[in-house]
Amino acid sequence: MSKNLSTALVLFFALCLNANAYMVSFFVLETGVADNIVNSEHSMNWESAFMDVFFDAGYIVSNAPALRMRTRPESIEHAASYEFDDALNGGVDYMFIVHLDYLQGSPSPGNITIHLYKMIPFIKLTERSMTARTYRSSREELDDYKSIVGGFIPLIN
């Protein structure tokens, strides 16, 4: 009996020590933001949604500061090249880019696109675009974002 118990304990500890979580990073790219908008509530809600959902699912989560551009970049990969390099050097396994494209003079984005990249080998896994909605409250907006973000968890393996 003690031999079986010893074997079980050794296997248990070996499996626990080899368990690791994927590291997921994300950042928000805002394009077309009006100059008078200092901190975008929409960006903060997306950051909160990613942090909450992936942390609660057991992932190691990090983020980069939001990047603002007056116009849409020709290539998301080119606009995010510094963040990709930084994430790769930090050991990140997956990188999300949440692109909030604001309409001229609007305080909220018109279109939202979420890009998911696997870092090694570097490939784009998926892209999801949606038209922004109007919410009754910030809480409703955050809950909807969490639901959207939760749909990406099965894609991380």
Domain ranges of the chain: 21-155
**Per-residue confidence at 71, pLDDT binned at 50, 70, 90?**
confident
pLDDT computed for residue 138 by the predictor: 87
What is the residue-averaged pLDDT of the chain?
A: 86
Instruction: Classify domain 21-155 at the CATH superfamily level.
Output: TolB, N-terminal domain (3.40.50.10070)
Using CA atoms, how far apart are residues 54 and 46, in angstroms rounded to an integer?
Answer: 12
What is the arithmetic mean of pLDDT over 72-95? 92
pLDDT computed for residue 37 by the predictor: 61
Residue 39 pLDDT > 90: no
Give the residue, 34 or 85, on which the prediction is more confident: 85
What is the arithmetic mean of pLDDT over 64-83? 90
Cβ(32)–Cβ(101) below 8 Å: yes
Strand ranges in 43-122 using DSSP code E only, listed in sequence order? 60-63, 67-69, 94-102, 109-118
Residue 102 pLDDT > 90: no
Tokens standing for 134?
């109007």
pLDDT computed for residue 4 by the predictor: 63
